[in-house]
């Protein structure tokens, strides 16, 4: 969200702002920043700072919104509220690992039924946050804002390799028009195919006609969802049975 600031006073600049986002249908507030000190004329709507707290737009249950803003100058003089401006959102957000089969010893094990243990793939996520063994099944949960249906997922890695998708993305939670999707995938367990430190990317999209035309995709920062370490084969051993004569 961006706005412009002008002040008839000589040399005055913005000292603070407040932004409100409401559902277009009933003006129920989805987000209120309160008074925020600063000269920035831009605000990024958060998707969530943790794996178990949904973003404010998803939590609203809608995808059509209105936004307005007011500002204070450096002398503390407060403006009127701007007029409401309309916008809508259809997007994926908050990808998180909800389950990892046999995670590496240094990687915390997320539990599907315990959102507090899920691993959020956040902007700036580093490799140590994303470790799984080659061949291990990973369960991802991703929120969608807006009317999304028949989402498709692929997980490319290496030189033209594609992870196996266990099932098509399926809806596990519905909140108004917004949804949470689950998808499971695993790479080839052979280290010749999936060597150490292989980065697995995510392409999650659906072609839709709401708000805009074309494909919607997972956030760019989420294109790396897994970094492999070792192989699931290391967890298996062979017991030989037979005759001794």
Asked whether residue 36 carries a pLDDT value surpassing 90, the answer given is yes
Q: What is the mean pLDDT of residues 65-81?
A: 94
pLDDT, position 221? 75
Domain end call among 88, 103, 122: 88
User: Both 25 and 138 in a single domain?
Assistant: no
226 in a structural domain:
yes
Residue with tokens 């195919």: 193
User: Both 49 and 141 in a single domain?
Assistant: no
8 in a structural domain:
no
183 in a structural domain:
yes
pLDDT, position 125? 78
Say if residue 93 is exposed, middle or buried (CB neighbours under 10 Å; 0-12, 13-18, 19+): buried
User: Both 57 and 136 in a single domain?
Assistant: no
* Residue 223, token pair as written in the block: 């294109």
Confidence of residue 199 (pLDDT cuts 50, 70, 90): very high
User: Both 129 and 190 in a single domain?
Assistant: yes
121 in a structural domain:
yes
Q: Tell me what the pLDDT averaged over the chain comes to.
A: 89
Domain end call among 88, 110, 135: 88
Q: What is the mean pLDDT of residues 30-45?
A: 95
Helices (H) and strands (E) in the chain, counts: 1, 19
213 in a structural domain:
yes
Answer with the residue of higher pLDDT: 215 or 121: 121
Q: Could you tell me the sign of the dihedral formed by the alpha carbons of 207, 217, 110, 55, in that order?
A: negative
For 12, 22, 91, 229, the CA distances from 226, given in Å and listed in that order, are: 49, 36, 21, 10
Q: Is 236 in a helix, a strand, or coil?
A: coil
Q: In the chain, where does DSSP find H-type helix?
A: 56-60
Q: What is the mean pLDDT of residues 160-167?
A: 92
pLDDT, position 33? 97
- pTM above 0.85? yes
Domain count, the chain: 2
User: Both 114 and 170 in a single domain?
Assistant: yes
100 in a structural domain:
yes
pLDDT, position 240? 63
Most confident of 13-22, 46-55, 98-107, 147-156: 13-22
Q: What is the mean pLDDT of residues 12-34?
A: 95
Distance CA 162, CA 50 (A): 29
Q: What is the separation of C-alpha 106 from the centre of its chain, rounded to a whole number of angstroms?
A: 23
Give the lowest-confidence range in 13-22, 120-129, 204-213. Answer: 204-213
48 in a structural domain:
yes
User: Both 67 and 95 in a single domain?
Assistant: no
User: Both 102 and 200 in a single domain?
Assistant: yes
Distance CA 93, CA 48 (A): 9
Strands (E), the chain: 14-23, 29-32, 36-37, 64-73, 85-88, 91-100, 119-120, 131-134, 138-145, 152-154, 156-157, 161-162, 164-165, 170-175, 178-186, 199-201, 203-208, 214-217, 224-231
Domain housing 122: 91-234
Asked whether residue 128 carries a pLDDT value surpassing 80, the answer given is no
The half-sphere exposure of 102 on its side-chain side, counting CA atoms within 13 A, is: 16
pLDDT, position 237? 59
Residues 6+ apart with CB under 8 A from 85: 66, 67, 68
Q: What is the mean pLDDT of residues 121-142?
A: 87
């Amino acid at each position: 969200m961006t706005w412009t600031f002008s002040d008839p006073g000589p040399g005055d600049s913005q000292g603070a702002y407040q932004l409100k986002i409401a559902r277009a249908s009933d003006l129920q507030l989805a987000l209120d920043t309160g008074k925020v000190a600063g000269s920035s004329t831009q605000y990024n709507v958060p998707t969530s700072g943790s794996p178990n707290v949904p973003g404010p737009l998803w939590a609203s249950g809608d995808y059509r919104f209105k936004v307005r803003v007011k500002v204070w100058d450096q002398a503390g003089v407060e403006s009127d509220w701007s007029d409401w401006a309309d916008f809508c959102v259809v997007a994926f957000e908050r990808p998180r690992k909800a389950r990892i089969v046999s995670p590496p010893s240094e990687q915390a094990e997320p539990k599907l039924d315990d959102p507090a243990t899920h691993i959020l793939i956040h902007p700036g996520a580093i490799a140590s946050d994303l470790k799984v063994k080659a061949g291990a099944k990973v369960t991802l949960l991703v929120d969608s804002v807006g009317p999304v249906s028949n989402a498709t997922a692929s997980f490319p890695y290496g030189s033209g390799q594609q992870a196996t998708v266990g099932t098509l993305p399926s809806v596990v939670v519905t909140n108004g028009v917004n949804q949470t999707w689950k998808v499971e995938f695993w790479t080839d367990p052979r280290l010749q195919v999936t060597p150490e430190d292989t980065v697995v990317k995510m392409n999650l999209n659906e072609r839709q006609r709401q708000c805009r035309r074309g494909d919607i995709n997972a956030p760019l920062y989420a294109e790396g969802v897994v970094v492999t370490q070792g192989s699931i084969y290391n967890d298996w051993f062979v017991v030989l049975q037979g005759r001794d004569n």
